[in-house]
Amino acid sequence: MLESVIRELLIKVVGGEWFKDDPESLVSYSYDATPLYQAMPDGVIFPESTQQVSDIVKICSKHRIPVITRGAGSNLCGGTIPLQGGLVVVMTRMNKLLEIDSDNLTATFQTGLNTKQFHLAVERTGLFYPPDPSSMIICTMGGNIALGAGGLRGLKYGTTKDYVLGLEAVLPDGSILRTGGKLVKDAAGYDLTRLLVGSGGTLAILTEATVKLIPKPSYRKAMVAVYDDLHAAARTVSNIIAHHIFPCTLEFMDQPTLQVVEDFAKIGLPVHAKAMLAIEQDGNADDVERDLKQLEEICLASGAVQLNIAKTPEEGAKVMEARRSALAALSRLRPTTILEDATVPRSKIADMVLEVQRIAQKYDVQICTFGHAGDGNLHPTAMTDARDPEEIHRVEQAFAEIFEVAIAMGGTITGEHGVGIVKAPYLEWKVGEAGIKMMKSIKDAIDPHQIMNPGKLFAETRKRIIYQDRTEAVERTTTQDEEIQTP
């Protein structure tokens, strides 16, 4: 518990109604959407302005109290777990959409704003904000920015980091920083905006943001391509990109995922297929119809055994909503669902899916795979039971091997979920010793007392467990005319 004098100082900032340290509140904010992780905070506070956040952080800085920023708690990397206790700063009261500027094609908002509500408000003006994480119904814009969220439309439009133009942030000493603005170009010194995007609350509390918008596409159409071979589905993705067509959505589901999602959504998905691609294009009507015609030809030439084109926008929306429901559908199978996001070059998608299947069999765990095929971002998802320590250990071993194989294929340990707690032991595998040293230098310079979200991003490097198996995996996924450089 916080000392009474500190508690009173915090209550003075926000009022008694917006500071909580009763047992029920502490338990409620001791976990997020990430399975297997929980730690009790010492207090929970709900500011309503940047000034209040600044005053809160000044108190915490003076008394060396850890500060953990939280939006909706929907992250999957343990990013808002208060590992060392401290104060959880919940941003959901700071949820105002401050401005939609049609002249400059920007929007400015407080970071506790709900992502879905933001999308709807922007689209009512005829504009469009493309990043669309699957959790958009519940997540916050600040959480998206803090963890560099992606989404289904990443292939064509990019991810959150590509849209953030400026930020207002409270630094670890309580000072208020403003970066960027309504600017298309800004080369004034270090890019502090990009530094804070994806920093996961380890450098500052983000209080306001300005993002760029684009005109809303006038037409949208979806199709489904069905395959009896994983490599044919992956070949299709490469061939689509080779033809310089960039669908707004190009999603992959393997057979186990298809079966579970269809049982959940009941929209007629091809449950006997080895793989399915859900493809959507947007733009003006003529361009979309032209692209869909080409996409049909590419899919069939690449090995699709069945094509289904949505007859109505509602039918297409059902397919995309079914894909968005994959995690919810899979979570019905076992008490604990662990979703990861290993990312590989697009050309390695089929190899990576096959490796996931091999690894799941090796460790005797149940893993289904779906994800954003267009940008190589796969979501291997383990269905397990947290009450079985031996099985959880096997799941952890399996994911460690999945991450290392992804790196060996030229990929990364996380494409959009962020590092948080979960990926911290593997970060050095990806960025190397020099990368860790540079990141720690930045952290030490900005947060010398280590109060901002401690225990995240950096961790003791986990010993690699694969060695010979990894070499075999690389050999299995290397074609005759290419070589994979293992880390």
Domains annotated on the chain, with CATH? 97-215 (3.30.465.10), 219-409 (3.40.462.10)
pLDDT of residue 468: 37
Closest CA to 267 of 282, 253, 247: 253
Phi-psi region of 288 (alpha: psi -120 to 50; beta: other; left: phi over 0): alpha
Bridge partners of 378, per DSSP, are 371
Spatial strand order in the sheet of 164-170? 97-101, 106-110, 205-212, 164-170, 176-180
Q: What is the pLDDT of residues 279-291, one digit of tens each?
A: 999 999 999 999 9
Q: What is the pLDDT of residues 30-57, one digit of tens each?
A: 999 999 999 999 999 999 999 999 999 9
pLDDT-based confidence at 350, cuts 50/70/90? confident
Spatial strand order in the sheet of 43-45? 19-20, 43-45, 87-90, 67-70
Q: What is the pLDDT of residues 417-453, one digit of tens each?
A: 999 999 999 999 999 999 999 999 999 999 999 999 9
The DSSP line for 327-396 is HHHHTTTSSEEEE---B--GGGHHHHHHHHHHHHHHTT-EEEEEEEGGGTEEEEEEEE-TT-HHHHHHHH
Phi/psi at 68 (5° precision)? -120, 115
Beta-carbon contacts of 287 under 8 Å, excluding residues fewer than 6 positions away, are none
CB neighbours of residue 183 within 10 Å: 14
Query: Token pair for residue 426?
Result: 């593997």
Q: Any alpha helices (H) in 23-84, and if so which ranges?
A: 23-28, 50-63
Residue in the structure block whose two tokens are 């010793």: 433
pLDDT-based confidence at 463, cuts 50/70/90? low
> Mean pLDDT, to the nearest integer, of 195-208?
98
Q: Which residues in 164-213 belong to E strands, given as ranges?
A: 164-170, 176-180, 205-212
pLDDT-based confidence at 320, cuts 50/70/90? confident
Query: Token pair for residue 30?
Result: 């001791």
Cα 462 off chain centre by: 22
Closest CA to 359 of 310, 396, 392: 396
Beta-carbon contacts of 330 under 8 Å, excluding residues fewer than 6 positions away, are 257, 260, 261, 337, 339, 368, 381, 383
- In angstroms, the CA 77 to CA 421 distance is 6
CA angle 469, 471, 475 (to 5 degrees): 115
- In angstroms, the CA 358 to CA 352 distance is 10
> Mean pLDDT, to the nearest integer, of 134-138?
93
- In angstroms, the CA 409 to CA 482 distance is 11
Query: Token pair for residue 410?
Result: 């030229």
Please state whether beta strands 275-283 and 43-45 pair in parallel, antiparallel, or not at all (unpaired). Answer: unpaired
CA angle 300, 305, 307 (to 5 degrees): 70
pLDDT of residue 475: 37
Is residue 451 classed as helix, strand or coil in its secondary structure? coil
Average pLDDT for the chain: 92
pLDDT-based confidence at 324, cuts 50/70/90? confident
Bridge partners of 219, per DSSP, are 283
Residue in the structure block whose two tokens are 């979570």: 331
Q: How far is CA 355 from CA 21, 203, 338, 394, 408, in A?
A: 46, 36, 18, 16, 12
- Which of the 8 DSSP states describes residue 462? P
pLDDT of residue 462: 63
Is residue 214 classed as helix, strand or coil in its secondary structure? strand
Is residue 79 classed as helix, strand or coil in its secondary structure? coil
CB neighbours of residue 480 within 10 Å: 4
Residue in the structure block whose two tokens are 């920023």: 69
What is the reported pTM? 0.91
